[in-house]
Structure 1
Amino acid sequence: MADTGSTIEKRKRGAKKSPRFSREQAEVRRGMLVEAAARCLSQGGIGAFTVDRICREAGVSRGLINHHFDGLDGLLVEVYKSSLYASVTAHMAEAKRRRAENADWPPETALAALIQSNFSPQYFSRANLLIWLSLWGEIAINARLKAAHRELYDAYRAELAEDIAAVARARDREVDAPALARNFIALVDGLWLEWCLDETVVTPEAAEAAGFEMIEAQVGVLR
């Protein structure tokens, strides 16, 4: 009886762990599909973003895309978020956390980190830029992707404007923070495009310097 009870108890413990294990497995599969889809985009553009090619790249069955992402459009949105906004989103979350936990955290630090996040090596990469080019045209005709872009862009611009305004207030400067944030994002987009088309036109270091120069012209030195 003791052995039987012990066996039953082990089974109960195993049953309790299985939901978490299933969730972890699901996240692994989702990640594999996002990475495979990103590779397909960077290698062949939007024309390579097909169920067959993505599943072949990931080494999974065709049904997993619909199971995890509600179709190709859902997967496309996830690729967009992970490839083009992951670094910026992480810095935005860090800035909000630091502001909430430490009122003495200098606003210059938050703004400089957000500017630099656009040019970090894992973000400002050839693969990401090729994905960006592929998705840029698709945003204009894909309603779901357009909605995701608007949500991410608005959140990013609002955070950037908030950080710019905080620095300007601390230094007693008058700045149109929303307009400056918009112009900075447009500059970054242009630099990304130039670098993607011809790497000899601008280096990542020069692109970052140009971004800082635009903001610093309005709020003063940050570096």
Structure 2
Amino acid sequence: MPKVGMEPIRRRQLILATMQAIDEAGLADATVARIARHAGVSAGIISHYFGGKDGLMEATMRQILTDLRRAVSERRAEIASNDVRSHLHAVIDGNFDRSQVSQSVSKTWLAFWASSMHRTPLERLQKVNDRRLVSNLSAIFRRVMPLVEARDAAAGLAALIDGLWLRGALDPEGLDVERARRLAYEYVEYQLAQHAADVSTPAADAQASDMTHPVPAEHA
């Protein structure tokens, strides 16, 4: 992990250089020397701040996960709590945000998933991220369906998001974000259709707001 007091600009510079090196040569050949060359610094700087390549890889994944959480939370921030559909769409859209689907980030994600099976710090990050996604989706689905069904729906949607992302990342032409979102939306519609009477729609929310408030008062 980077030492306390490290300049944020330098930290970001080294993380971007790590992704560039992985994009260029793959994880195995993304050596400290190659990363340092991309960042325009000495290899000793990386060892000083991160303790080596493993520490820098962990910091890189933490930054990507932070970007993912921000992409989702910013989308959900202004959505009414009872608008289940929009909250689910926000989670989907956040996972297919630009910060998660660029070529360099996609290759880093793939390297991270493979490495997490062998490196304990990365394994912990993977488990936390997976649990967060399923937990968030389950909590949203729980607003309109029983707990067991909500957990199943959440597990299914999480698997679909990961699967669509993975197939897109491995496709030479890259991920078709609009198609991936559409397919995930269709899954949401299928699940919500089973509990249609309890699902709030934006139009219904707006109508109710107009009736109760004469003066009119985004994807975690």
Task: Give the TM-score range, shorter chain.
Answer: 0.7 to 0.9
Aligned length: 193
Alpha-carbon distance between aligned partners in 2 of 1:27 and 1:202, rounded to the nearest angstrom:
31
Alpha-carbon distance between aligned partners in 1 of 2:54 and 2:175, rounded to the nearest angstrom:
33
Q: CA deviation at 1:151?
A: 1.5
SS in 2 for 1:47: coil
Match of 2:141 in 1: 164
Alpha-carbon distance between aligned partners in 2 of 1:69 and 1:96, rounded to the nearest angstrom:
33
Which one has the largest radius of gyration?
A: 1
Q: 2:32·2:46 contact (CA, 8 Å) conserved in 1?
A: yes
Alpha-carbon distance between aligned partners in 2 of 1:214 and 1:127, rounded to the nearest angstrom:
29
SS in 2 for 1:48: coil
Correspondent of 2:151 among 178, 200, 213: 178
Q: Identify, as 1 or 2, the structure richer in helix.
A: 1
Match of 1:191 in 2: 164
Structure 1 position 115 matched with structure 2 position 99: no
Q: 1:129·1:196 contact (CA, 8 Å) conserved in 2?
A: yes
Segment drifting more, 148-157 vs 52-61: 148-157
Segment drifting more, 54-63 vs 67-76: 67-76
- Give 5+ residue unaligned stretches, structure 2: 194-198, 203-220
Alpha-carbon distance between aligned partners in 1 of 2:76 and 2:98, rounded to the nearest angstrom:
23
Q: CA deviation at 1:45?
A: 1.2
Percent of aligned pairs sharing the same letter: 27
Distance 1:53 1:205, change over 3 A: same
SS in 1 for 2:106: helix
TM-score relative to the length of structure 2: 0.74
Match of 1:80 in 2: 61
Structure 1 position 130 matched with structure 2 position 130: no
Distance 1:201 1:60, change over 3 A: closer
Match of 1:152 in 2: 129
Alpha-carbon distance between aligned partners in 2 of 1:97 and 1:201, rounded to the nearest angstrom:
29
Q: CA deviation at 1:53?
A: 1.0
Correspondent of 1:90 among 64, 70, 75: 70
Q: 1:184·1:211 contact (CA, 8 Å) conserved in 2?
A: yes
Q: CA deviation at 1:145?
A: 0.7
RMSD, aligned α-carbons: 3.0
Distance 1:62 1:208, change over 3 A: same
Segment drifting more, 126-135 vs 25-34: 126-135
Residues 15-40 of structure 1, C-alpha deviations (whole Å, 9 max, x = no match): xxxxxxx95x7111111000000111
Q: 1:92·1:159 contact (CA, 8 Å) conserved in 2?
A: no
Alpha-carbon distance between aligned partners in 2 of 1:147 and 1:35, rounded to the nearest angstrom:
22
Which structure carries more relative contact order (alpha carbon 8 Å, separation 6+)?
Answer: 2
Q: CA deviation at 1:174?
A: 7.2
